[in-house]
Structure 1
Amino acid sequence: MRKLHLPDEHKHVFKEVLRSLCQTNACKFFRGRYHPKKRNVDVVTGTISIHPRGFGFVSLDDPSLYDKDVFIPRHLTENAVDGDRVEVEINPFSHSEKGPEGKVHTVVERGRTHLAGIVHEFSRDGTALAYVPLLGVEHQVSIKSPDEKLHVGERVILEVLQWGDDKKETKTCLSHKIGHISDPSKDVIAAVKEYGLKKEFPEPVKKEAALFGKSVKQSELKDRQDFRSWEIFTIDPTTAKDFDDALSLSKDKTGNYHLGVHIADVSHYVKSDSALEKQARMRCNSTYFPGVCIPMLPPSLSENLCSLKPNVNRLTASVLMTFDSNGSLLNYRIVKGVIKSKKRFTYREAKEVLDGRKKSPFAPTLKLMEELCLLLKKKRYERGSLEFSIPELRVIVDENGTPTGTEFIPYDITHQLVEEFMLKANEVVATHLSKEGLDLTYRVHEEPSEERMNEFVSLANAFGFHLKEAPSPGDLQKFFDEALQTPYGTYLAISYIRRMKLAIYSPANIGHYGLALTHYCHFTSPIRRYVDLVIHRLLFEKPISYSEIEAVAKECSEKERISEKAERNVTLLKKLRLLKQMVDEEPKKEFEVVVTKIRSFGIYFEVDHLMLEGFLHVSELDDDYYRYDERSGRLKGSYTGVAFFAGDRFTVISKEIDLIVLEAKWKFKKKRKK
């Protein structure tokens, strides 16, 4: 500063400027000197999402800087946690097809002031230590001595006093308790707190929803096409209450099919800048837990006035499509309508009708739907789309949230026909809006990287299949058609899906790899997805700016991931509760498992009937000394010659079930005889 020869009256001001620059990280004060921050690498800002394994991805404030999120290795996340706004230094030598890589330089703004955790243990001096799922097992969290006594297993909301990292504890104080881990009725409440979900609706939102009444008014039918005399019905899960979509189908004398996909007209009720709209955008989507739904819209709309219930007038946005006898689209119309659904089918009931096990006046239409569905599927396969007929495992819970069992929901023809018709409606709407020259929220999906595809090919071949390198979509579909006929098919399909890149919303249309479509969007579920509501507005109201579309796409993609994490963790907890019930009733109960992955240090497997992942360290295989054969990918016993390989089966017994960290430990029992 002396070399600048500043007048005395300016020196004070200059020092204040330097201090201000330090506060904004533009320079640093070190050893009595101010040093400008080095800018020989790109420095960007964005919001970080932390994976359960510790690494993270930063979604940039300015997405135009890079075409992918920035990957942050686990050891370079510093003390950033999920949802923090961070400043990241890009590693200029790390760019690959996976995208840029960097390290967290500074946490600009914390994404939260409170954490949800569970009291895990007490230190020697009596300080309560909590396990916070958001931070992981290795991150120690201490709780400042509260006025009320704490117990191991209590679920707590903690106010952060000082952030730490893997080497330094995070210091907190107790905000409030939300029950004990042994109480399943609090599972969803805990998840709501942990993931920052919104459960209750503010009074202004509920009052606004109540203004619409409980039924459609005659005045609301003006300028709408009247479909109330048409044979229209819904097909949904048994537990569903929010019926977004209804179907109609007929076939004329020339062999053409006339398909109607009728979607709840949510945009009629949820207007731009209303309290309802702001709340829906804050939530972005409904979140579905076992036995509980946290809706995007108040129940008076989501379960009543917008839901396409039978025998009542309901407002719709309808896509009317005509297909020739081969399933090729001839023409379409998109109109506002009013329907009166004739029937509420469950998937199970519709399947019984198709199988001839139950009589119904709608049987001919269901048969016709099956016919058109198969034509559309054939065309989808021909263009390179993949389909995985994976049964869904549903955890059944009672009114208290206690799991009572599981149920596999088959991906049968009734599920397939609904999906095919929704896919086609979404494709038609996306293509239509694109032709109109409008910016929109596309649903896009990049193709998997070469590295990830090679990993999957190796896995498939380890299970005894023959999948060639760089398989075409046709090769993959042929493989899955064969694999899904075996006990390993579901696991392989899930493994492939996990290796694929995530589908996201974007204003930039790069196509949808999984569906092999050039144009695709989400239009068919506006009751439970905000982005669908935006598409409805684009169809019937004024255009939306690119910047606004970009913001919506980013927000909805992020909230979708958060909901998926919350749903996955609560479902895992319910599975572990069910496992604990089984073990409590029969302590030595044996569980059959299938090997999913072999490593030099142990075996990864999946427990049958629960779709629960497990791991056995090689030291747990105490009947022999096992060595890993890298060439064959097997663990082989030195004395017995017994080998473990991907797809192999054996039995285990439960050694420990930890509901706090969501982990089950196992003991090897015996290998299944062939």
Structure 2
Amino acid sequence: MVEITIRKRPRSEAVITQRKFFKKTARGKVIKVLRERYLRDDVGCGIHNCRECSEACTPSSSLLPESGAEHSLFPDGHFVLPDTNVFLSQMDLLESSLFRPPIILLQTVVEEVRHRSLPLYNRLKALMAMDDKSIWTFYNEYRSETAVVREENETPNDRNDRGIRKATAWYKEHLQLNNPPVRGKAPRKLPTFVLLTEDAANRQKAEKEGLVSLSVRKYVEGMKDSPQLLDLLASIEADEIEPTRAAGGKQILYSEYLPSATLISGVKAGDLHQGHFNANQYNYLEGSVSVPAFTKPVLLIGRENMNRATSGDIVVVEVFPDSEWKAPADEVVDQDSTLKNDDVESGDEDEAEDDIVTRTESKVTSSEKRSSEKQPTGRVVGVIKRNWRPYVCHIDSTSLTSINSTSLSVQTVFATPVSRLLPRIRLRTRQAPSLIGQKILVSIDRWDVTSRYPEGHFVRALGKVESKEAEQESLLLEFDVPYRPFGKAILDCLPKEGEQWVVPPKSDTSPEWREREDLRSVTICSIDPPGCQDIDDALHARRLPNGNIEAGVHIADVSHFVHADTPMDSEAASRGTTVYLVDKRIDMLPSLLGTNLCSLRPYVERLAFSAIWELTPDADIVNVRFTKSVIASKAAFTYEEAQIRKDDPNQKDDLTEGIRLLNSIAIKLKAKRMAAGALNLASPEVKIHLDSSESSDPIDVEQKELRETNSLVEEFMLLANISVAQKIQETFPQTAVLRRHMPPPKTNFEKLQDILQKRKGLTLDVSSSGSLAASLDKCIDSEEPAFNTLVRIMATRCMLSAEYFCSGSVARDTFGHYGLASPIYTHFTSPIRRYADVLAHRQLAAAIGYSPLHPSLHGKSHVERILDVVNRRHRMAQMASRASVEFYVGLALKGREERNKASGAGAVTEEAFVIRTFRNGLGVFVSSLGIEGLIMFKNDLQQFDAENYTLSIPAPSGPPVTISVFDKVVVRIEVEKDKNTQRGRVKMTLVSPIDSKNM
């Protein structure tokens, strides 16, 4: 039981002892915690020209009431006080530039939003900072007349609702008291205080207390721009209307989710299993959930068993008995092509889907024989956390009932997401005709058991499909990349000198030179890709008198400029990483830092954090030291320039000799890593040539060339990251920011092992990283040099993703990096573009005694929360980069196709490897372009051999042609509009060994 006491203090202040409880510390000590809240009577109301609050409410920040012309219900003006549920459900409306009433934001609401949803809390903070919004934050919990304490048997939610109503009533009385009637004058008409809430019970209580309270929909209907704003409203009445729909004859299509308590207890007991839902990119009627209890993911077949889960949701699954386990289907099933005639107003489309499931399952006779491919099979019984967010979509024009662009009547239409992993979204909008041919943003609101599709609401239009501006923004939104310009509060954190900032002259009193080593005379250089502006790292090497070698890695000292608990630090933590697209870069930090003050440009002095080793000529480490430093890089090379300089026997200057020395050590470091079991994997990388004009249109595409100098830089960055990881983990064993790569389950390699054995007679040993590395070296086809690279690419896709973690959060024996064969690893070398590196810099600075560690980095839970965000941002950034490359490859190929047609050269053709066989198609990889594609067959005459990974295709004359995995084929490449993305997509057809154009 919580004790509540109020003690009066001078000046009408009081302190409420709200909560007394006992807490156990990390060392096992029990302490008593007493939380107090001080009340005062001078918390400003925020109303313009309020006489009582004039000192607290400055003219620049106080609110003016909304005029009567802006709302039909309040001719004398009004203010709105939104309840918590308004921010939780209607944030898209509140963020709209058309929604601009003066908002009184209660402290109770802010704290409840923070408690309920951190992403929405971050959006709320951004909303409060918008220049075009009128928002006053009222600290009702600290004003004596509005503070409330929780009563006995009162729920926290009821307490908060009562506090919100009390604050609304106080505002009404406060304005009346400050505007007393004047004798001889008509009473002044005062503005109305409107409590906005989606809670019907709260509205009823407010009305009984004499307050004006409206639902958001009712309020918006009276606004000047109501037609556009009503489209932004999320549908939130699911619990109220679902029974009505079912009773009205709607078929129940899905099972109800189990209660939360049942889900939690079931997972704890091991009867149920929790994990992330992953949609199948080739078959929209299959999904899977990886759970700790099974080595293979739990397979979900059919929409009923996926039970309204969307990609990325955290779900709970029930696993069927072993006798009902199945193997995944071997057919490509595309939602758009199979459900062309869905009725947007009904659920009749389930008959078409049921037919597809039945047809697909009837064809898996060969799959059933492969008992080794069977997986645990089950169904979703609950959702722990939705992954819903605004999605980039386009309106399916076939679902419109009216194409009259001037009509503002509500239509129900399908919105097709860009991502094939998502279902179509049923959408009610007044703007459907005008949105045809545009990319739009849509939020999912609910998914009823009576609807085959989720329901959502329109957020905003992005622009015409295939326009470069709309496609760029679409791509960023699709992968949830923060791209808004840096705000004033963030830019105010930059040095006031701006671009004129320089390292001051060396002196004992200069803070920049405090405990820094002067390395300006050392021959340091950087080696980066062409056009690199954010130069994170530079290197040097020189011989020592004792015959050993000194090698140094010098990293931009970002933490000197980015301090903890500042707006710039918070923004960098939220962005997590810089995102590199083909034609632009979305920076983690303002460009003044990233491309100027922190960038280790040549010929200028820069602050750095240096790792300096003494190594033997055989690359054995004698010692390593870390120091803050000042450097002056002597040159900035591209990989190609450094390679040419190294290979030129006429070059014998200090810079060239340093590069050669670095290279000789790097070769030996790599040899040691490989001997320890490090993997030499591969991923397709291409270089896109852009037009040098302002259009930046892609001209052509080719494979990237990797040189010896690429490996040189890589080896020393790895060495620096490993050395720093060891140091910070020794000093901060509970909170060190590290990175690990977990060993993949052996089952991940089963199919690749089977294919290699059956098609090439090769064995892949996955017992350890060293065994895998050795066996990959033996995967050679003497007639095909590219075969080994292809196998390495396929092996890479069997791996787990690397992740950042807090050292005290996982077992010590799981720290290792499987791919690098290193027992410990972190990221230190790119603080301009990765926030994890900034944290590692702060910890290393504390570890060497340069500066104290910020208190937040002593807390394990705080570090975990930051790294969760950084891990997610890192994954999304990688996907955004790949999507950008894919988009520009498509544009470049379209240009090549048009040039070929103009010159009469014919269609674009390329050699490709078959990497997967389906019952109705082939998956191929074009190594010269670094892209994959599907070759689909329209008829049903192919013979599929799942056991041997072959597909026999009837020939126009002669016997059928059999194609298997690893075969080389020739494909015809065309670019067509993708039905999901509405962008150009590479379409492939088989040319050789058989032309499939008309098949």
Instruction: Look up the match of 1:5.
Output: none
Instruction: Look up the match of 1:443.
Output: 739
Distance, in Å, in 1 between the alignment partners of 2:154 and 2:624 is 72
Please give the root-mean-square deviation of Cα atoms over the aligned residues, in Å. Answer: 4.2
The alignment's TM-score, normalised by the length of structure 1, stands at 0.84
Cα–Cα, structure 1 residues 356 and 149, in superposed 2: closer, same or farther, change >3 Å? same
What is the SS of the residue equivalent to 1:149? helix
- Give yes or no for the alignment of 1:495 onto 2:798: no
Distance, in Å, in 2 between the alignment partners of 1:179 and 1:434 is 49
Instruction: Look up the match of 2:266.
Output: 41
Distance, in Å, in 1 between the alignment partners of 2:930 and 2:648 is 32
Q: Which amino acid aligns with 1:580?
A: K
- Give yes or no for the alignment of 1:419 onto 2:724: no
Map 1:476-515 onto structure 2 (within 5 A): 476-481=772-777, 486-507=785-806, 508=810, 509=812, 510=814, 511-515=816-820
Instruction: Look up the match of 1:551.
Output: 865
One of 829, 836, 839 as aligned partner of 1:534: 839
Quick check: 2:744–2:798 contact (8 Å CA) kept in 1?
A: yes
Instruction: Look up the match of 2:671.
Output: 378
Identity of counterpart residues, as a percentage? 24
Instruction: Look up the match of 1:245.
Output: 537
1:346-368 CA-partner distances (Å, limit 9, x unpaired)? 11111111222995732211111
One of 602, 606, 613 as aligned partner of 2:932: 613
Q: Which amino acid aligns with 1:610?
A: L
Instruction: Look up the match of 2:184.
Output: none
Map 1:115-514 onto structure 2 (within 5 A): 115-123=391-399, 125-126=401-402, 129-134=414-419, 136=421, 138-142=423-427, 144-146=429-431, 149-152=434-437, 154-160=438-444, 163=447, 168-199=452-483, 200-211=485-496, 213-214=498-499, 215-218=501-504, 219=510, 220-356=512-648, 359=651, 361=653, 362-388=655-681, 392-398=685-691, 399-438=694-733, 439-461=735-757, 464=760, 466-470=762-766, 472-481=768-777, 486-507=785-806, 508=810, 509=812, 510=814, 511-514=816-819
What is the SS of the residue equivalent to 1:314? strand
One of 88, 97, 110 as aligned partner of 2:316: 88
Quick check: 1:71–1:100 contact (8 Å CA) kept in 2?
A: yes
Q: Which amino acid aligns with 1:347?
A: Y
Quick check: 2:273–2:318 contact (8 Å CA) kept in 1?
A: no
Distance, in Å, in 2 between the alignment partners of 1:257 and 1:165 is 69
Cα–Cα, structure 1 residues 57 and 645, in superposed 2: closer, same or farther, change >3 Å? closer
Cα–Cα, structure 1 residues 207 and 111, in superposed 2: closer, same or farther, change >3 Å? farther
What is the SS of the residue equivalent to 1:105? strand
Distance, in Å, in 2 between the alignment partners of 1:134 and 1:252 is 57
Taking CA–CA contacts closer than 8 Å with sequence separation of 6 or more, which of the two structures ends up with the larger relative contact order? 1
Q: Which amino acid aligns with 1:394?
A: K
What is the SS of the residue equivalent to 2:531? coil
CA shift, 1:396, in A, is 3.1
What is the SS of the residue equivalent to 2:817? coil
Distance, in Å, in 2 between the alignment partners of 1:495 and 1:515 is 18
Quick check: 1:391–1:411 contact (8 Å CA) kept in 2?
A: no
Quick check: 2:678–2:769 contact (8 Å CA) kept in 1?
A: yes
Q: Which amino acid aligns with 1:343?
A: A
Q: Which amino acid aligns with 2:664?
A: E
Instruction: Look up the match of 1:7.
Output: none
Quick check: 1:595–1:645 contact (8 Å CA) kept in 2?
A: yes
Quick check: 2:755–2:948 contact (8 Å CA) kept in 1?
A: no
Structure 1: state its 5+ residue gaps. Answer: 1-9
Cα–Cα, structure 1 residues 244 and 70, in superposed 2: closer, same or farther, change >3 Å? farther
Map 1:638-653 onto structure 2 (within 5 A): 639-640=958-959, 642-653=961-972
Deviates more, 1:607-616 or 1:132-141: 132-141
CA shift, 1:473, in A, is 3.8
Quick check: 2:535–2:599 contact (8 Å CA) kept in 1?
A: yes
What is the SS of the residue equivalent to 1:667? strand
CA shift, 1:389, in A, is 6.0
Quick check: 2:316–2:381 contact (8 Å CA) kept in 1?
A: yes
What is the SS of the residue equivalent to 1:428? helix
- Give yes or no for the alignment of 1:575 onto 2:889: yes
Quick check: 1:589–1:653 contact (8 Å CA) kept in 2?
A: yes
- Give yes or no for the alignment of 1:595 onto 2:911: no
One of 523, 541, 562 as aligned partner of 2:828: 523
Distance, in Å, in 1 between the alignment partners of 2:422 and 2:386 is 24
Distance, in Å, in 1 between the alignment partners of 2:153 and 2:770 is 73
Q: Which amino acid aligns with 1:464?
A: K
Quick check: 1:651–1:669 contact (8 Å CA) kept in 2?
A: yes
Instruction: Look up the match of 2:380.
Output: 103
Rg larger for = 2
1:531-551 CA-partner distances (Å, limit 9, x unpaired)? 111111111132522222222
Q: Which amino acid aligns with 2:949?
A: G
Quick check: 2:310–2:422 contact (8 Å CA) kept in 1?
A: no
Give aligned pairs, total: 644
Structure 2: state its 5+ residue gaps. Answer: 1-151, 160-199, 202-236, 247-257, 326-374, 403-410, 505-509, 847-852
Distance, in Å, in 1 between the alignment partners of 2:757 and 2:624 is 44
Distance, in Å, in 2 between the alignment partners of 1:100 and 1:425 is 45
Cα–Cα, structure 1 residues 90 and 129, in superposed 2: closer, same or farther, change >3 Å? closer
Map 1:48-67 onto structure 2 (within 5 A): 50=278, 53=281
Q: Which amino acid aligns with 2:486?
A: F
What is the SS of the residue equivalent to 2:871? helix
Instruction: Look up the match of 1:4.
Output: none
Q: Which amino acid aligns with 1:525?
A: S
Q: Which amino acid aligns with 2:489?
A: P
What is the SS of the residue equivalent to 2:435? coil
Instruction: Look up the match of 1:6.
Output: none
What is the SS of the residue equivalent to 2:397? strand
CA shift, 1:238, in A, is 0.5
Cα–Cα, structure 1 residues 109 and 631, in superposed 2: closer, same or farther, change >3 Å? closer
Distance, in Å, in 2 between the alignment partners of 1:473 and 1:447 is 8
Q: Which amino acid aligns with 1:490?
A: T
